[in-house]
């Protein structure tokens, strides 16, 4: 078998890319920090977008934003199709959410993150025409065991059996939304507990797939873009994710079909993101179960980030201290 050439290796996203990307999420989180608890989610998002865009412009890659932010909630945009990076290096798809949890930030609540996911060019599913997706996420124990087409009770029982624990030990993360009232009742009727999330189902999905957390499964209807971003992380964690598009009306369904999306179809991890070389980077804006939020400590600003890469199967945590004077 022929060995990859230097040129072909250069055109693939490499291990150093993760450390470049984390600079962008750190910047977005730091710029959003003054808005925490101030009730101005658009102001927070705008500051985070500007900071992320500026840092991404210095990264050695040719990135195309496949999954931007702002179209759904009328926030400032890193828009779909925008080119980012310095135009050199590997060609990649990029998904960005300068703040996953703008409402959480504005209210001063937990689990707001700044997020970037990257994969080889042309490998991310572009689900931008259908804003919502039904999702199920578990750790590796759920592979071949749980299925979004099964009932909630069947999935909970199957996962409990695979993990060799009683059903009563299973905890399911769900976005706390009126649309999920029936789902929450089903989970509890099956004998499992719930962890209700005010926002940020990316963190919920990752915690469901990570070893040693208190969440065993993440279920419910959330943003399609967040589903693709989560898939990039799940591929690095070896977990299980399935998604099924959930159009809000016939017009949106038709737009999805015209864009080449499959309705009433279950997308697996390898269809949500076809690349086996994915990166997921997140920096905490506010404190949460995944990472700590931005902290001012005298002359420094401390950030905590998590960096996942599927090719190497690594999970890294990066705690960085930034001089306040450099950020004024």
249 is in an annotated binding site: no
100 is in an annotated binding site: yes
50 is in an annotated binding site: no
200 is in an annotated binding site: yes
223 is in an annotated binding site: yes
132 is in an annotated binding site: yes
Tell me the HSE value of 223 on the side-chain side, using a 13 A CA sphere. 24
Give the whole-angstrom CA distance, residue 257 versus residue 262: 6
Give the whole-angstrom CA distance, residue 299 versus residue 327: 11
Residue with tokens 């400032």: 76
179 is in an annotated binding site: yes
201 is in an annotated binding site: yes
Query: Comparing C-alpha atoms, which of 246, 185, 248 is closest to residue 221?
Result: 246
Residue with tokens 């080889």: 120
* Residues 6+ away with beta carbon under 8 Å from 44: 32, 35, 36, 38, 99, 102, 105, 106
Residues 61, 10 contacting (CB under 8 angstroms)? no
Residues 124, 267 contacting (CB under 8 angstroms)? no
45 is in an annotated binding site: yes
102 is in an annotated binding site: yes
313 is in an annotated binding site: no
* Residues in the annotated binding site for substrate: 100-102, 132, 177-179, 199-201, 223
* Residues in the annotated binding site for Mn(2+): 45, 69, 97, 100, 226
* Residues in the annotated binding site: 45, 69, 97, 100-102, 132, 177-179, 199-201, 223, 226
């Amino acid at each position: 078998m022929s060995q990859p050439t230097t040129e072909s290796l250069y055109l693939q996203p490499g291990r150093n890319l993760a450390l470049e990307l984390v600079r962008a999420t750190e910047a977005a989180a730091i710029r959003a920090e003054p808005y925490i608890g101030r009730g101005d989610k658009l102001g927070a998002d705008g500051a985070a977008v500007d900071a992320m865009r500026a840092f991404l412009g210095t990264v050695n890659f040719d990135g195309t934003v496949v999954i931007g932010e702002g179209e759904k909630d009328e926030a400032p945009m890193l828009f779909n199709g925008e080119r980012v990076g310095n135009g050199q290096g590997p060609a990649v798809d990029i998904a960005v959410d300068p703040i996953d949890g703008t409402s959480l930030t504005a209210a001063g609540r937990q689990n707001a993150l700044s997020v970037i996911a990257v994969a080889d060019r042309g490998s991310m599913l572009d689900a931008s025409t259908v804003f919502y997706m039904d999702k199920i996420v578990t750790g590796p124990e759920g592979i071949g065991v749980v299925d979004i087409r099964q009932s909630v009770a069947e999935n909970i029982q199957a996962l409990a059996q695979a993990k060799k624990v009683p059903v009563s030990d299973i905890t399911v993360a769900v976005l706390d939304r009126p649309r999920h009232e029936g789902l929450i009742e089903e989970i509890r009727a099956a004998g499992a507990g719930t962890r209700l999330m005010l926002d940020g189902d990316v963190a919920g999905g990752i915690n469901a797939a990570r070893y040693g957390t208190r969440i065993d499964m993440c279920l419910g209807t959330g943003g399609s873009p967040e589903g693709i971003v989560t898939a990039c992380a799940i591929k690095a964690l070896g977990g299980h994710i399935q998604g099924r598009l959930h159009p809000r009306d016939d017009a949106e369904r038709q737009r999805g079909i015209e864009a080449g999306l499959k309705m009433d179809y279950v997308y697996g991890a390898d269809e949500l993101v076809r690349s086996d070389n994915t990166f997921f980077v997140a920096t905490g804006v506010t404190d949460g179960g995944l990472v700590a939020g931005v902290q001012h400590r005298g002359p420094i600003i401390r950030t905590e980030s998590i960096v996942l890469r599927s090719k190497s199967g690594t999970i890294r945590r990066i705690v960085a201290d930034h001089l306040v004077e450099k950020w004024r």
